[in-house]
Amino acid sequence: MSQLFSPLTLRGVHFRHRVFVSPMCQYSATGGYPDSWHLVHLGSRAVGGAALVMFEATAVSPEGRISPGDLGLWDDAHIGAYRTIVDFIKAQGAVPGIQLAHAGRKGSMQTPWAGGHPLPPELAWTTVAPDNTAFAPGIPPPKPMDDNDLRTVRTAFTSAAQRAQEAGFEVLEIHMAHGYLLHQFLSPRSNHRKDSYGGDFAGRARFPLEITEMVRVAWPEHLPLFVRISATDWVDGGWDLDQSVQLARNLGDRGVDLIDCSSGGLLPDAPIPAGPGYQVPFAQTIRARTGIPTGAIGLITEPVQAEQIVATGQADAVFLARALLRDPYWPLRAAHTLRAELPWPVQYERAKFR
């Protein structure tokens, strides 16, 4: 019996199995609004049988965007555009989730296909970060956040969480990974603050944990809260797995239901030993040492590989990104390979593998 295709319940939410769509920026929004691209893109993954369809990193404020094409949830006016897509995903039997994000010093950039460079001055905005260290040479330095900036971002996260609920989302994920704002606070390589939001582990974790507490209050009790972390910066003197375990415990204490275990993204030149399943040991260690459910991500591409990750207790679910861009029907195909039962959309039943 497939463990990958066994159901999972977190709080009041039932997942039909454990193949989740990893958040993937499409850089295709205007003014933060999702449109028909997002409906077709995310809707296809729901039709393809995914259990959770996670919307991409969605900015909690305009200056929290990576690029002008990012999704946003900083205005009540955004809610309706999400609801249409959320309703479609639910109608396919999938759970809709959203990743809330603030890019910090990695914001104000062009889309990747426009070059991925800093925006020209007429389109650029001032980024904010724990301190004034730029992400990379040639990128304008961010403004170090003062008390008012911290308050503004805390409020932006909680307001966006409330809007996500109104839009009908059933999973909320806080983005603390990939070198974006909350990761910038966590890592000693990007947080050189001298106040109570820097210094030792407790200081660097303070702001991400404050946001987690506030979001947990704003997000309904019966709905699960995930956090994506980078389990390591892959550099000496950076964030590492031991700190991730400590953070995961602190997040669990604050009502986080699943740690989504990615890595890297803080420094442009970190040597990352990418290979099949290379981040799975992070999910395994955090799960074993904290008892908190984890999600594994990163170069998980084969059904048997995904099955082994769940069946051997390395993680409770797998997130897939590029494999699901190549093939939105990956879950239907994998269920067939693993001889698991996963209903096809009735409209497609004549094409079912037999």
Ligand X SMILES: Cc1cc2nc3c(=O)[nH]c(=O)nc-3n(C[C@H](O)[C@H](O)[C@H](O)COP(=O)(O)O)c2cc1C
Q: CA–CA separation, 47 vs 44, rounded Å?
A: 5
Minimum CB distance to ligand X, residue 300 (Å): 6
Helices (H), 232-279: 241-253
Contact track, ligand X, 99-118, x by CB under 6 A? x-------------------
Stretch that binds ligand X, among 12-20, 45-53, 81-89, 314-322 (CB under 6 A): 314-322
Stretch that binds ligand X, among 29-37, 87-95, 171-179, 213-221 (CB under 6 A): 171-179
Rounded alpha-carbon distances, angstroms, from residue 117 to 50, 66, 142: 34, 11, 15
Contact track, ligand X, 122-141, x by CB under 6 A? --------------------
The number of C-alpha atoms within 13 Å of 329 and in the hemisphere containing its C-beta is: 11
- 294 touches ligand X (CB under 6 A): no
Instruction: For residue 332, count other CB atoms closer than 10 A to its CB.
Output: 21
**For this structure, is 82 an active site residue?**
no
Q: CA–CA separation, 275 vs 318, rounded Å?
A: 16
- 23 touches ligand X (CB under 6 A): yes
Instruction: For residue 209, count other CB atoms closer than 10 A to its CB.
Output: 20
Among 13, 124, 311, 321, binds ligand X (CB under 6 A): 321
Contact track, ligand X, 253-292, x by CB under 6 A? ---------x------------------------------
For helices 147-167 and 79-91, the axis angle rounded to 10 degrees is 50
Among 299, 305, 333, 345, binds ligand X (CB under 6 A): 299
Minimum CB distance to ligand X, residue 349 (Å): 28
Q: CA–CA separation, 128 vs 148, rounded Å?
A: 12
Stretch that binds ligand X, among 161-169, 183-191, 321-329, 344-352 (CB under 6 A): 321-329
Looking at residue 306, its amino acid is A
Minimum CB distance to ligand X, residue 21 (Å): 9
Selected catalytic residue, list 180, 278, 329, 348: 180
Contact track, ligand X, 35-74, x by CB under 6 A? ---------------------xx-----------------
Instruction: For residue 276, count other CB atoms closer than 10 A to its CB.
Output: 11
- 78, burial (CB in 10 Å: exposed 0-12, middle 13-18, buried 19+): buried
User: How many of the chain's residues bind ligand X (CB under 6 A)?
Assistant: 20
In three-state secondary structure terms, 239 is coil
C-beta closer to ligand X: residue 14 or 322: 322
Phi, psi values for residue 309, rounded to 5°: -60, -45
Among 322, 337, 343, 352, binds ligand X (CB under 6 A): 322
- 334 touches ligand X (CB under 6 A): no
Residue nearest ligand X (C-beta atom): 321
What is the b/e burial string over 219-236, where b = at least 16 CB atoms within 10 angstroms of the residue's CB?
beeebbbbbbbbbbbbbe
The binding site for ligand X (CB under 6 A) comprises 22-25, 56-57, 99, 175, 177-178, 228, 262, 297-300, 320-323
Catalytic residues: 180
